[in-house]
Amino acid sequence: MTIQNEMTEMGRKARKASRTLANSSGKARAEALDRLADLLESEADVVREANAKDLQAAEERGLDKARTQRLTISDKVLNSMIAGCREVAAMSDPVGEIENMVKRPNGMLVGRMRTPLGVIAMIYESRPNATVDAGILCLKAGNAVILRGGSEAFHSNSCLVKLMHRALEEAGLPKDAVQAPATTDREAVSELLKLDEYIDVVIPRGGEGLIRAVTQQARMPVLKHYKGVCHIFVDESADLEKSLPIVENAKMQYPSGCNALECLLVHRSVARDFLPKVAEQLGGKGVKFRACPESLPFMGENAEAASDEDWGKEYLDLIMAVRVVSDMEEAMDFIDEYGSNHTESILTESQSNAMRFINEVDASLVVSNASTRFNDGGQLGLGAEIGISTSKLHAYGPMGVKELTSAKFVLLGDWQIRE
């Protein structure tokens, strides 16, 4: 069978499974997620063995540090997957929920009912935990999902999908609700992206190159973000002592994350006091700086002059751009020009400045006095997330269970006719 035929058959099976899943009980779908959590615990050694094969292959291929980090299923990552399964299982079931029911003047009741999107294709790189995150969220929302992870995580993803099949069957649900191509051939992706007859939406997750390639080829809608160029603006009223650990956390807690800080903007009036502390604290822990002419004298031996290419750049590494601005207006203009609509934060003691920043800055998460690293489905109360959308339609920000449903209108009449 050709790859084209294999992907078409996969799409057909997913469509059939999606109809069954959409009409299944919330209890059965929650049971499948709880069973998956149990299996991840009982089969942890099997998961680690599969991941070890991928890590060995990554070492042989010379995979860079950031991608190897994302590929690794550590005990922390595994425990997070297990907790995510249980947390999402315990969430209220969105499918069939009716919102905003109102009575029209003629007596009709009109509302909107949450309904699954149908079949979702997830195309992603490196992170095998994304396999579980995507699977459980799609299942909870009543969607079938086709998971196409990167070739570097093939063994890990295959193992996790097999566990999901077991969990689904034990809960009385079709295993075809979760599928993954049994090939690393890139042609599989191209063929999947043609299947608008079967696939309702595609969600790419990975580097900018992957996301742009998927967007260009897809015949169905795409929920995406190209890159995470996140800024923190340190206002003139900011508490500098409290600001320093926030900047450090945003840059260093997980530098390869899409919500990591990439550019620090500092008000001119506090630059002389604050930037040397940043240079000492972060520079002493390995961060390199790309500094504007005004900030460069304060940034120490780990700094070099920024080029035009450093503004708006996603480093995904221990590198941070630094720029001094004259006021909040200049900071917001800079973010508007170089930001990626992902995450933007202001550190300030001024409530009016905080609210102006929140109201005027356009990003999927706008933050006051906290790290950019909080733009994450789990941190924002969604349980796991399938990705972060900066495309606004049909979701803006982390996509959890509710974001994987749509809302159809329902009308409850009493034999009315339109006059």
pLDDT tens for each residue of the chain, 419 residues long: 899 999 999 999 999 999 999 999 999 999 999 999 999 999 999 999 999 999 999 999 998 887 888 899 999 999 999 998 999 999 999 999 999 999 999 999 999 999 999 999 999 987 899 999 999 999 999 999 999 999 999 999 999 999 999 999 999 999 999 999 999 999 999 999 999 999 999 999 888 899 999 999 999 999 988 999 999 999 999 999 999 999 999 999 999 889 999 999 999 999 999 999 999 999 999 999 999 999 999 999 999 999 999 999 999 999 999 999 999 999 999 999 999 999 999 999 999 999 999 999 999 999 999 999 999 988 998 877 888 999 888 899 999 999 999 999 999 999 999 99
Distances from the Cα of 164 to the Cα of 39, 137, 178, 257, 412, angstroms: 9, 12, 7, 26, 38
3-state secondary structure 105-166: CCCCEEEEEEEECCEEEEEECCCCHHHHHHHHHHHHCCCEEEEECCHHHHHHHHHHHHHHHH
In this structure, are 240 and 103 located in the same domain? Answer: no
Task: Give the burial class of 77: count Cβ atoms within 10 A of its Cβ; 0-12 exposed, 13-18 middle, 19 or more buried.
Answer: middle
Confirm if 140 and 167 have CB atoms less than 8 A apart. no
Residue 168 maps to a domain? yes
Task: Indicate the residue type of 18.
Answer: S
Same domain, 178 and 208: yes
C-alpha dihedral (26, 29, 31, 36), degrees to nearest 10: -160
Local structure of residue 323 (DSSP, 8 states): E
Q: Residue 207 carries which side chain, given as an amino acid letter? A: G
Instruction: Judge whether 384 lies within some domain.
Output: no
| Domain range enclosing 300 | 230-374
Tokens, residue 269: 């009036």
Tell me: do 239 and 339 sit in the same domain: yes
- Does 395 map to a domain? no
- Structural domain total, the chain: 2
> Collapsing DSSP states into helix, strand and coil, what is residue 75?
helix
Q: Would you list the DSSP string of 348-390?
A: -S-HHHHHHHHHH--SSEEEESS-GGG-STTTTTSSS-S-EE-
Is residue 155 reached through a cis peptide bond, with omega within 30 degrees of 0 on the bond before it?
no
Place of tokens 């973000």: 225
Domain end call among 166, 200, 224: 224
Judge contact between 175 and 36, C-beta under 8 A: no
Tokens standing for residue 193: 């992206």
Are 51 and 108 found together in one domain? yes
**Domain finish residue from 224, 244, 272:** 224
- Of 180, 200, 224, which one is at a domain's C-terminal end? 224
Provide the residue type at 377 as one letter: G
Side-chain-side CA neighbours of 339 within 13 Å: the count stands at: 26
Specify whether 202 is located in the same domain as 247: no
CB-based contacts of 250: which residues, under 8 Å, 6+ apart? 230, 232, 260, 261, 345, 371, 372, 373
Place of tokens 């340190």: 234
DSSP per-residue string spanning 189-232: HHHHTT-TTT--EEEEES-HHHHHHHHHH-SS-B-------EEE
Long-range contacts of 78-82 (CB under 8 A, 24+ apart): 78/40, 78/44, 78/47, 78/48, 80/129, 80/378, 81/40, 81/129, 81/132, 81/133, 82/37, 82/40, 82/41
Do residue 325 and residue 201 come from a single domain? no
